[in-house]
Amino acid sequence: MQPLAAPGPPQGGIALSGASEDAQRRTWGSDTPRRSLGTRLVLATLVFCLLFTLVTISVLTYSAWNSGLSKMNAELAQLEQVYQGTLSKAIWELDRESLQTHVLSATRVPAVGKIVLKVTLASRAAEVLEGSSNGWSGAGRAPTRRLTLTYEPYPGARESVGELTLYGDERVLWQRLRGELTTIAITQLLQSLMLAALIMLMFNRIVTVHIQRIAAHLARLSPNNLGLTLGLHRRAGHQDELTLLVSGINQLQGSLATYLEQQQRYEHELAGHRDRLAQLVEERTIELQAANSRLQNLARTDQLTGLANRRHFDEAKEEELRRALRSGQDLSLLICDIDFFKDYNDHYGHAMGDQCLCAVAHTMRASLARAGDMVARIGGEEFAVLLPATNEVTARMLALRVHQAVIDRGIVHQHSKAAGVVTISIGVAVLAAGDADDFDALFARADQALYRAKARGRNQVAGPISGDQDDAPGEKR
């Protein structure tokens, strides 16, 4: 939209007549000092910016330090979870070489300054293994975590085998603090927002009140009263840009009628653009909704195998349990585990291991033809099959079908102690109609059945203990 302009010379723009300039000079006075609104705002902004920047830098530095401590503590906790099982097993098996390897690898983690492993087996004297990163001189302000290592040689027996102590590296904390470039950007953003608030406050007190009076005057204008003169109720000593604005408005009122017609035309054009913008927003909203739907599907699917992931399985199990209790039908669960999969990974490599997981997953899913049956990957090489409206006999028959289908796939596994091909062990559990058990109890029974199948040599299907009808490798019913 073009700016309004008062009638003037042919080159355009606002031109004050000689009489108006003389009147303005008389109004301002030759001895009256001029104090610009912009000058006052700039001075106030500079003072506030200096003080606020100092405070903000202090606050953000403290916040970044605490965030770095929390992040390092989380990294050390994650490292504990990673090494807890392997270290406990290596201590129990007296594998000193493995312990030294794990200690050395832990010192290569950036967050770790020093690791101390204390071995406290009952039958041996206490022994301490430790390692530290290059140049580490002490934990300082970095966090320190201690974890008692325990091992379970057989179910129900848990023994303390040592203590793991992780010291954080303070140098990493300082390095991360120096690298917080984002904090500087946040500081500048906060500063800008606060400055904007200050400027708005000052403008409200110094300018907005008078602008509102000017707006009220303009609102009363019509083609019949364009000669009405605008005046502000201020002391005579306030001579600034508002005085020039009032003078300009009074001069522009003579040609306002023409510009009002032009403004109406622009408003029609603006309405058309607004409708087009609303249409574009609606189209983009539809695209975003479709993208969100795709993201939700990805969040519920295991990326490697294409099966339902643990999150999807947890949602489906609760829904199927409620449906089973409501309809009075049985609900069966199969817990499947690939036999000697670690040996397969160690021998053929992780790439072949991933292909093996995908092949087993697709075989399991293809062997179940019913629409309601769900196959999900709930662990590394562990799968769960949810069978709605399925009794024990049918569940066992489907388990045998899945078991045989994996064998028939013929994936070579030379290091399997169960067979020359990849096999699976399956635990079967059934929640009969009328049972009051929750799904956790059903899952525990299936897991116990899977444990029995593994204890009997793997490559077989194991069902409830009461039936005592576990199937040996290769058997079919």
Catalytically annotated residues: 381
Backbone angles phi, psi at 120, to 5 degrees: -130, 60
Strand partners, 112: 168
Tell me the pairing of strands 331-338 and 112-119: unpaired
3-state secondary structure of 208: helix
Both tokens assigned to 45: 């902004």
Q: Which amino acid, one-letter code, is at 399?
A: A
Other CB atoms within 10 A of residue 239 CB: 18
Distance CA 108, CA 97 (A): 17
Strand partners, 166: 115, 145
Both tokens assigned to 324: 């089973």
Burial (0-12, 13-18, 19+ Cβ within 10 Å), 419: middle
User: What is the H or E stretch that residue 182 is in?
Assistant: helix 181-203
Other CB atoms within 10 A of residue 428 CB: 30
Cα dihedral across residues 23, 25, 30, 33: positive or negative: positive
3-state secondary structure of 340: coil
Closest to 449 (Cα-Cα) out of 376, 371, 372, 395: 395
Place of tokens 């090494």: 83
Distance CA 99, CA 102 (A): 5
CA angle 453, 456, 459 (to 5 degrees): 55
Distance CA 399, CA 406 (A): 11
The region that residue 116 occupies, defined by phi over 0 for left and psi between -120 and 50 for alpha, beta otherwise, is beta
Closest to 92 (Cα-Cα) out of 29, 158, 178, 167: 158
Contacts of 446 (CB under 8 A, 6+ apart): 333, 334, 335, 384, 427, 428, 429
Distance CA 267, CA 251 (A): 24
Distance CA 103, CA 107 (A): 7
